[in-house]
Amino acid sequence: MNKLFNIINSDDILFGIPGTTLTSVMIILLLTLICRKLFSHLIMAYLKKLVAKTETTLDDAIIEISEKPLSLLIILFGIMLCRMILLPYINPEIDKSIYKLLQFFLVVIICWFIHQSAEILTVFFQKFTKRTKTELDDLLLPYVAKTIKITAIIIIVVKAAEIFLGMTAAALIGLLGGMGITLGLVFRDIIACWFGCAIIYIDDLFREGDWVQLDDGKVIDADVEHIGVRSTRFRNFDKTLSIVPNSSISTAIIKNWSKMYKRRVKYSFKIDGISSEKTEQILSGIRSILEKSEDIHQEFHMVNFRELDGNARIIRLYYFTKTTVWKEHELVREKINLAIIKMFEDSGVERLAYTIVDLSDDRPRDFEVSRQQ
């Protein structure tokens, strides 16, 4: 026992460090390990039982992933405390290296926790995205976890380069910025598609299920099947699939037929050899048909005697149906046309005396394909 006390009280046991100092360091390390065990078996066990009583599983996941990083932090703080005690006996250059190394491990532990919590943060953000009206956040949500993980890894790499390679954070950020510009030039088309996707949602150009035309149908005249980050899929009327990069969509002229709140009908009657009195009777009859129909939008419709073509009277008919669904729209047109033909018959206008010129342009080119909007 006396020999042990003599060793402890010695002024130079190891590298000029007194025995009392080394004893203090050993005691601190021992207490650190005890604290770590108590933290894992008591505090964390109590917290796990506490969160198990809640309805949500989010707090359970947070406790689960935070146990190991917090345990390592306890050990790291214990080592830092030992360094402070040994500071008078350590070479300044060596102490500087030890301090940077401890800083690096601290950053690694924090980034490790952030990396592990990426999936939990995604679940947390998902609750907010369900409350929003825009679909852009739902589309970008799967990339949140990947972005968080990559950011954590980049921070570790930057810190490692700063410590082990002697590079400053500013120089590293500048280097990464230069690499970013280079990669941006290489992948500019892909980046343009990403921004195109954002424009589609931010400007509310269209949604899945909408019927759209790009550049007056020269590029696309089809239904939107899926909006992706890089491209959008369109289902054509013949059931073929077209895939268009979002960068092309963002610069195209877009006509979204599904955003109609009423649908137009426009055509002309060309009637031969009728008197002015009969013409006025026909105009009044067609106007009455439109005004009495519950399927016609009463905000605006026109029936006019437009012009003469030889012995023929040209009457222009212009109105809107309340429904925008193509099949229902066609049934309304049919109903109105039958009423007009019956009115012609009742007015004594012979069938061979008139022709109809359809001027509408709001239907698909393939009229044989039935569609549901």
The CA distances from residue 202 to 64, 137, 198, 232, in Å, are: 37, 10, 6, 15
Mean pLDDT of 334-353: 82
Structure confidence by residue, pLDDT tens digits, 2-22: 444 444 455 555 555 666 777
The CA distances from residue 370 to 131, 213, 366, in Å, are: 35, 18, 9
Query: Buried b / exposed e across 11-42, counting CB within 10 Å, b at 16+?
Result: eebeeebbbebbeebeebeeebeebbeebeee
Task: Map tokens 């892909």 to a residue.
Answer: 190
Q: What is the DSSP string of 147-172?
A: HHHHHHHHHHHHHHHHHHS---HHHH
> Strands 231-235 and 312-321: what pairing?
unpaired
Distance CA 86, CA 13 (A): 13
Q: What is the pLDDT of residue 289?
A: 93
* CA proximity to 122, closest of 98, 159, 149: 149
Q: What is the pLDDT of residue 259?
A: 82
Distance CA 318, CA 200 (A): 33
Tokens of 130: 């369900």
Structure confidence by residue, pLDDT tens digits, 135-161: 656 666 667 777 888 888 888 887 777
The identity of residue 149, as a single letter, is: K
| Most confident segment among 94-108, 196-210, 239-253, 267-281 | 239-253
Q: What is the CATH number of domain 198-258?
A: 2.30.30.60
In the predicted structure, residue 372 carries a pLDDT above the cut 70: no
Query: If you count them, how many residues does the chain have?
Result: 373
Mean pLDDT of 35-58: 78
Q: What is the pLDDT of residue 61?
A: 77
Distance CA 119, CA 146 (A): 9
Domains of the chain, by residue range, sit at 2-163, 198-258, 260-358
Q: What percent of the chain has pLDDT over 70?
A: 77
Distance CA 136, CA 131 (A): 12
Structure confidence by residue, pLDDT tens digits, 264-304: 888 888 888 788 888 888 899 999 999 999 999 888 889 99
Q: Residue 216 — φ and ψ, nearest 5°? A: 60, 35
Between 254 and 63, the more confident residue is: 254
User: What is the crossing angle of helices 142-164 and 118-129, to 10°?
Assistant: 140
Distance CA 252, CA 60 (A): 48
The identity of residue 131, as a single letter, is: R
Mean pLDDT of 98-117: 85
Q: What is the CATH number of domain 260-358?
A: 3.30.70.100
